[in-house]
Amino acid sequence: MRLNIAFNILAISAGALMPLAFAPFHFYIVSIIAPTLILSLWAYSTPKQALLQGFLFGLGFFTVGVYWVYISVHDYGNAAILLALLITASLIVVLALFPALQGYLLTKFFPENNLRKFLLAFPASWVLFEWLRGWVFTGFPWLFLGYSQISYPLKGFAPIFGIYGVSFGAALSCGAIVSMFTIRKIIPIIFAFVILIFIWLSGGFLAQIDWTKTTGNPIKVSLIQGNISQPAKWQSGSLSLILLHYRNLTNKHWDSKIIIWPEAAIPAFRSQVGNYLEDLEKKAKQHNATIVTGILTENRQTKQYYNSMLAFGKNQSLYLKRHLVPFGEYPPLFPISELIMSTFDIPMSNFSSGAQQQPYFIAGNTPIAPSICYEVAYPSELLSFLPHAQLLINISDDSWFGRSIASAQQLEMARMRSLETGRYHLVCTNTGLTAIVNEKGEILAQAPPYQEFVLNGKVQPMSGSTPWVIFGHYLWFLIVILAIAVAKIEFIQ
């Protein structure tokens, strides 16, 4: 009884530590310690005990890691405290079910402690449940284990297998460590040690490969961090001041070929600001420049509204956001959620999704793979624009998160998208974190958060395809299926 209680305390503690492995903390060692600890507990637990331990691990993990959901719902959605707590707690409980089920199934189908369990079944199940978490109920692909490796050798697997391959490598490392301390036979210990060294050396080697190549000349860009507070943005009568604010900031940077404003920088429909856009477009054409901005778009015939990205100046392109934020941008489980959302005060919370296949987005002469805010968390969202696109652009309004860790977590995911695709990434946000990321996922320049700032720099268009761009999910999914299949073969002890 006391041992079970101790195991449960260790499980929730390991989960609570996990977010420290991610941005903005980057305590890398935690990304190995926490999964290693929960696997060690599962090694000596029944399926029912592992179910509870996995659930407690998830509670600790997501309570600390995504507490900022409460800030969005209460502080900016204006939901009552109890309702905001209920929504946040419900999300955390649902997310905690995934490690709970992983622990249950792992211990049920692999009750013996051997290499098959630790080196194959554990990393395969970890990645499979991360994928499910990013897909079930529209998904919440936040805090995948692989993101903690963005600055370390295992990141080398990202251009081949995507984020899931990096997570597999990290989980495999944890499995190897547990093997060495759990299986008390010299040959399995040596084998696990060799696997651990091999996976890290392989990742480091792969990280040195240039999967894509430069094309054309570097482009001068300006990313405008407007720093407009969320209440002020949607306040009646503030539109003209906001438009003037962005015009004034832009007028100082017409020497840039691409000027980017954040998500919903223009908090109005295109039809409402037509004259403003026309005047600004003339100015942009005079300087051979293109402005990319977040704006609202309406289809009057279908009475549908879209969160969109507009490029204008040298040419015009439009992208309609495809993956919407539940409750924030549309009512899931309609009409049940309509009752909940009626207690919120979220501007424009009934958007429609853009088509999955949309025309190529062009800024100046450069093909772009666009994403808006939350979409950057979904690894495959950009693939429909690749390999044609030569740059990535993400616009966001992270003021919804307040001064929480969410913005840093989101930038970490944007870095992984660069690494997966071999493209520079221009991340422009309202309040931060605005950054320029190179094709290796490294931050070249970053604006200070929570202040008005224009981030200038040069980016290099890239061409070619990483294996991830070519094959998408197929490679990592094949690895997972093979790992689970081989894990059932008895001769691997």
Element (H, E) at 81: helix 81-109
Q: Are 349 and 329 in contact (CB under 8 A)?
A: yes
Q: Are 343 and 323 in contact (CB under 8 A)?
A: no
Cis status of the peptide bond prior to 331, with omega within 30 of 0? no
Cis status of the peptide bond prior to 39, with omega within 30 of 0? no
Buried b (16+ CB within 10 A) or exposed e, 209-236: eebbeeeeeebbbbbbbbbbebeebbee
Q: Tokens representing 377?
A: 């968390």
Note if 373 is an active site residue.
yes
Q: Tokens representing 183?
A: 């299986």
Give which of 465, 429, 422 is closest to 447, Cα–Cα: 429
Q: Are 253 and 222 in contact (CB under 8 A)?
A: yes
Please name every residue paired with 306 in a beta bridge, in sequence order, or none if there are none.
Answer: 297
Q: Tokens representing 202?
A: 């392989």
Instruction: Specify the pairing of strand 425-429 against strand 391-396.
Output: parallel
> Active site residue: 130, 155, 174, 263, which one?
263
Q: Tokens representing 322?
A: 């495809």
Distance, CA of 2 to CA of 448 (rounded, Å): 49
Distance, CA of 271 to CA of 184 (rounded, Å): 71
CA-based angle 210:480:206, to the nearest 5? Answer: 15
> Active site residue: 117, 329, 373, 440, which one?
373
Q: Which residue has the tokens 């040298």?
A: 314
> Active site residue: 155, 321, 375, 412, which one?
321
117 burial class (0-12, 13-18, 19+ CB within 10 angstroms)?
buried
- Residues carrying an active site annotation: 263, 321, 373
